[in-house]
C-alpha cells in the first residue's frame, strides 16, 4: 500500500544505491540488497516497510535495462534488510554468461537498486530518509558503497544437463529491444516476459519447481551516474543530477565532479587562487566600494567631535558565459575500461583554467569579465626609468603600494619577464629572487610570492609587464552557474569524434583599485 503524502516529504524520480558483493560459485544468487543496519556512505537510510515490489523484477547488469539477464525469484524484507534470491539466464544469454564470469572472478562486487517516485525526508546531515521506495529493478554492478550489503552465495547449475530450447523468438525480441544511440534504455517488457517463459520451460524439463511469488513486504555514486550520462545520455539514474538546468533543460554536473574540476582550476589559475570568490544566485550582484575613509581628529575631553562618515559607491558584477569543449572518441565512450571521469575532469579543468586566466587578466568588462590589467581607473601606475625593469624599479614600486596591501601582495608577470627578474641583484650582489622554501611553494620577490601567466604583457618599451597587489582585497570572482555538460555526437561523427561541451557562467571585476600597482617601462 502506498503511503499518503506527508509534510516535509519530497519525491525523487530515480536513484541507485550500491551494495557490496561477496561472491562464491556463480549461478543462483542470494544476498542482501539493502541492509537496515545503518546509512550508506553518503548518509541515506530506508525505512523498514518502505519497499514496494512489483510482481516480477529483473536482474540487470550495470542498469542496462534494454534486456534482463536474470530474474529475482524472492525479495523479502526482514529485520536485516531487503534479502534477495534470484537466477541468471545462463542458457544462451550472452550478458548473463558475462555476468556469471564477472561474479566468479570478483570483478563485480556490488548490488544496485533502482526506483522511481520515491518519497523521502531530508536529514540535517545532508542525507535522506526514504519512507516509500517503489523498486524498478536490482542490478549487479561494480563499486560497492554500503559496507554491510552483500551477495552471500552464487551457485552454478550443472553443466551436464542439455536443454533443447527454441530461442528464435527471444532473439528476435532482443533485436527489437535495441534502442537508438541517443535514447535512454528502458526495460523491454516483451523481452523480459519471453525470457521468463523460457525459464518456465527449462524448469519443466528439469522438474524444478516454478519460481515463487515475490514477497512484497544518498544515492550511490553520483560520479558513476554522471559518467553514464556522458556515455549514453541516460538521465534516469542521475539522482540529484536529474535537475534541469534552467537555460537548456539539461543536467548539472554533480557537486563532486564540479568541485574536483574547480580544485584543478585553482591549481592552474593563479588569479582564482589569489582572489576572493563568491557565489551568485541572480543575474547580477551589487557590491559596495569604499570611496572616502573616515577622518579622525584629536580633541580635548570636552571638545566637539568632528562629524564625518565614509562614502561608498555601488558597483555591479554581472556573469558572463564560458564554454569549453573536449573531444572524446566513440571508442573511448564504448570502452568501459576507459576512466572517463579522470579524462573529463582533467581536460575541462585545463581548458576552463586557461579561459578564465585570460579573462581575469585582460577581460574588457563588456564581453567578458573585467581583468585586473584592463581596469582603466584607480590602479596606480609606477613609471620605470628604463625600457628594461631594474632592481630599483621593483623596490620603489613595492613601497609605493600602501603597507596594508603590500604585506598581503603578490606579483604577477609573464614567464619572459620572470627570466629577466631572476638575474637582478641588489648593490651587495644578492639576488632579489628567492626560490620557494618548500616544494610546491611559489618563489618570492622582496618577500612576496610570484605567479606567472602567459596572458601578462611581455617586457617591451612602454609596456606594463608587472602587476603587484592584494588580490584578495581588490579582485572578486563570482560563480553563477555550475558546470553543465552538453553532448554532441553529430558534428564530428564522420571522424569518430564525440564532443562534450561544458558551459558555466561567472563574473569578475576589480572592486578596490587602490590594492594594485602596475609597472610601466620607459620608451
Nearest partner of 73 among 186, 220, 208, judged by Cα:
208
**Cell numbers linked to 290:** 569604499
pLDDT score at 440 = 75
Q: Are 272 and 507 in contact (CB under 8 A)?
A: no
Helix axes 222-232, 340-362, angle to 10 degrees: 90
Q: CA distances (Å), 438 to each of 210, 434, 435, 452, in order?
A: 70, 12, 9, 18
Q: Read off the pLDDT band of 157 (50, 70, 90).
A: very low
Report percent pLDDT > 70 for the chain.
Answer: 63
Cell 558513476, located at residue: 224
Report percent pLDDT > 90 for the chain.
Answer: 22
Q: Is the pLDDT of residue 448 over 90?
A: yes
pTM of the model: 0.50
Q: Is the pLDDT of residue 48 over 60?
A: yes
Highest mean pLDDT (candidates 40-44, 75-79, 302-306)? 75-79
- Rounded to an integer, what is the distance from CA 431 to the centroid of its chain? 44
Which one is predicted more confidently, 445 or 192?
Answer: 445
Q: Which residues contact 428 (CB under 8 A, 6 or more apart)?
A: none
Span of 21-30, 427-436, 514-523 with lowest mean pLDDT: 21-30
Q: Read off the pLDDT band of 126 (50, 70, 90).
A: confident
Q: Is the pLDDT of residue 432 over 50?
A: yes
pLDDT score at 161 = 32
Helix (H) or strand (E) holding 59: strand 58-61
pLDDT score at 264 = 63
Which one is predicted more confidently, 160 or 303?
Answer: 303
Q: Which residues contact 278 (CB under 8 A, 6 or more apart)?
A: 285, 476, 477, 478, 479
Q: How many whole angstroms separate alpha carbon 66 and alpha carbon 93?
A: 13
Q: How many whole angstroms separate alpha carbon 487 and alpha carbon 510?
A: 35
Question: Rg of the Cα trace of the chain?
Answer: 32
Q: Read off the pLDDT band of 199 (50, 70, 90).
A: low
Q: Read off the pLDDT band of 286 (50, 70, 90).
A: confident
Q: How many whole angstroms separate alpha carbon 394 and alpha carbon 386?
A: 12
| Arithmetic mean of pLDDT over the chain | 73
Which one is predicted more confidently, 46 or 214?
Answer: 46
Which one is predicted more confidently, 175 or 333?
Answer: 333
pLDDT score at 363 = 94
Region for residue 346 given its phi and psi (left: phi exceeds 0; alpha: psi -120 to 50; beta: otherwise): alpha
**Cell numbers linked to 334:** 564504448
pLDDT score at 194 = 64
pLDDT score at 153 = 52
Segment 249-272 shows an average pLDDT of 62
**Cell numbers linked to 306:** 568632528
- Structural domains of the chain, with CATH: 10-157+168-175+182-220 (no CATH), 380-476+512-520 (3.30.2320.10)
pLDDT score at 165 = 29
pLDDT score at 261 = 59
Which one is predicted more confidently, 63 or 430?
Answer: 430
Span of 162-176, 339-353, 429-443, 462-476 with lowest mean pLDDT: 162-176
pLDDT score at 150 = 53
Q: Is the pLDDT of residue 65 over 90?
A: no
Q: Read off the pLDDT band of 500 (50, 70, 90).
A: confident
pLDDT score at 215 = 39
Amino acid at each position: 500500500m502506498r503511503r499518503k503524502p506527508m509534510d516535509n516529504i519530497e519525491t525523487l524520480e530515480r536513484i541507485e544505491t550500491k551494495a557490496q558483493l561477496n561472491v562464491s560459485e556463480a549461478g543462483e544468487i542470494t544476498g542482501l540488497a539493502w541492509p537496515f543496519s545503518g546509512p550508506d556512505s553518503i548518509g541515506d537510510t530506508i525505512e523498514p516497510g518502505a519497499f514496494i515490489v512489483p510482481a516480477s523484477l529483473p536482474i540487470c547488469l550495470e542498469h542496462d535495462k534494454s534486456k534482463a539477464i536474470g530474474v529475482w525469484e524472492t525479495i523479502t524484507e526482514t529485520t536485516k534488510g531487503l534479502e534477495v534470491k534470484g537466477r541468471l539466464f545462463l542458457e544462451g544469454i550472452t550478458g548473463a554468461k558475462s555476468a556469471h564470469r564477472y561474479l566468479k572472478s570478483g570483478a563485480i562486487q556490488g548490488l544496485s537498486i533502482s526506483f522511481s517516485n520515491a518519497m523521502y525526508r531530508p536529514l540535517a546531515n545532508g542525507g535522506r530518509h526514504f519512507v516509500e521506495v517503489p523498486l524498478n529493478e536490482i542490478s549487479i554492478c561494480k563499486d560497492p558503497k554500503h559496507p554491510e550489503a552483500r551477495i552471500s552465495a552464487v551457485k552454478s547449475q550443472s553443466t551436464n544437463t542439455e536443454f533443447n530450447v527454441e530461442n528464435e523468438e527471444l532473439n528476435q525480441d532482443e533485436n527489437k529491444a535495441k534502442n537508438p544511440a541517443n535514447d535512454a534504455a528502458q526495460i523491454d517488457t516483451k523481452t523480459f516476459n519471453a525470457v521468463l517463459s523460457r525459464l518456465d520451460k527449462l524448469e519443466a524439463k528439469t522438474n524444478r519447481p516454478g519460481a515463487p511469488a515475490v514477497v512484497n513486504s544518498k544515492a550511490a555514486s553520483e560520479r558513476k551516474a554522471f559518467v553514464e550520462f556522458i556515455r549514453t545520455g541516460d538521465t534516469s539514474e542521475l539522482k540529484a543530477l536529474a535537475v534541469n538546468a534552467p537555460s537548456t533543460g539539461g543536467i548539472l554536473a554533480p557537486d563532486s565532479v564540479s568541485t574536483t574540476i574547480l580544485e584543478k582550476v585553482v591549481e592552474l589559475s593563479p588569479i582564482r587562487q589569489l582572489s576572493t570568490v563568491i557565489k551568485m544566485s541572480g543575474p547580477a550582484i551589487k557590491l559596495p566600494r569604499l570611496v572616502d575613509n573616515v577622518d579622525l581628529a584629536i580633541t580635548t575631553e570636552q571638545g566637539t567631535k568632528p562629524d564625518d562618515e565614509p562614502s561608498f559607491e555601488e558597483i555591479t558584477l554581472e556573469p558572463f558565459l564560458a564554454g569549453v569543449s573536449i573531444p572524446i572518441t566513440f571508442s573511448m565512450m564504448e570502452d568501459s575500461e576507459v576512466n572517463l571521469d579522470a579524462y573529463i575532469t582533467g581536460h575541462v579543468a585545463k581548458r576552463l583554467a586557461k579561459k578564465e586566466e585570460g579573462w581575469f587578466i585582460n577581460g574588457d568588462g563588456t564581453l567578458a569579465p573585467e581583468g585586473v590589467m584592463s581596469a582603466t581607473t584607480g590602479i596606480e601606475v609606477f613609471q620605470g626609468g628604463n625600457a628594461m625593469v631594474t632592481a630599483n624599479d621593483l623596490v620603489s614600486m613595492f613601497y609605493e603600494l600602501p603597507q596594508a596591501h603590500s604585506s598581503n601582495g603578490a606579483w604577477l608577470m609573464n614567464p619572459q619577464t620572470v627570466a629577466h627578474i631572476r638575474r637582478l641583484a641588489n648593490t651587495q650582489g644578492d639576488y632579489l629572487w628567492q626560490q620557494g622554501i618548500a616544494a610546491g611553494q611559489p618563489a618570492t620577490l622582496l618577500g612576496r610570492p610570484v605567479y606567472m601567466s602567459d596572458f601578462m604583457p611581455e617586457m617591451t618599451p612602454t609596456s606594463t609587464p608587472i602587476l603587484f597587489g592584494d588580490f584578495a582585497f581588490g579582485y572578486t570572482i563570482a560563480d553563477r552557474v555550475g558546470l553543465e555538460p552538453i553532448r554532441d555526437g553529430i558534428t564530428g561523427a564522420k571522424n569518430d569524434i564525440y564532443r562534450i561541451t561544458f558551459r558555466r557562467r561567472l563574473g569578475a571585476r576589480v572592486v578596490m583599485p587602490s590594492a594594485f600597482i602596475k609597472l610601466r617601462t620607459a620608451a
